[in-house]
Amino acid sequence: MYHIIRKKLSLDNASVSSSNEGIKMNAIINMLKFVGFTLGSVLVRKGYNWLVEDVDPKPGTKEFARELRDTEIKYKRLRRKYESYIKSNKYIAKDSDHTS
């Protein structure tokens, strides 16, 4: 009887140490799950925001008019810059035609 109890106690001690290791592993796994789900949710949210932020507004709305006005202003500014660049390059090319 003594041997049976002793054997049972030694098995219980072994199972306690293995259960402590199991608890540690569960804690690590839970921490990894938490970090993974947190990063995943941030990536999904940012990805969704990136997809929907570039949607063009419907014609006839204030947002559309604002967007159109900003785009026209940008186009005119870039067109002026391009034309002045072309004129200056023609002027430079005309002056640099001195091949002797």
- 64 or 7: which carries more pLDDT confidence? 64
Beta-carbon contacts of 63 under 8 Å, excluding residues fewer than 6 positions away, are 57
- 46 or 12: which carries more pLDDT confidence? 46
pLDDT higher than 80, residue 9: no
Question: For 27-84, how does the pLDDT look when each residue is reduced to its tens digit (9 = 90+)?
Answer: 899 999 999 999 999 999 999 988 888 777 888 999 899 999 999 999 999 999 999 9
b/e 8-20 (16+ beta carbons within 10 angstroms → b): eeeeeeeeeeeee
Question: For 14-31, how does the pLDDT look when each residue is reduced to its tens digit (9 = 90+)?
Answer: 455 556 677 788 889 999
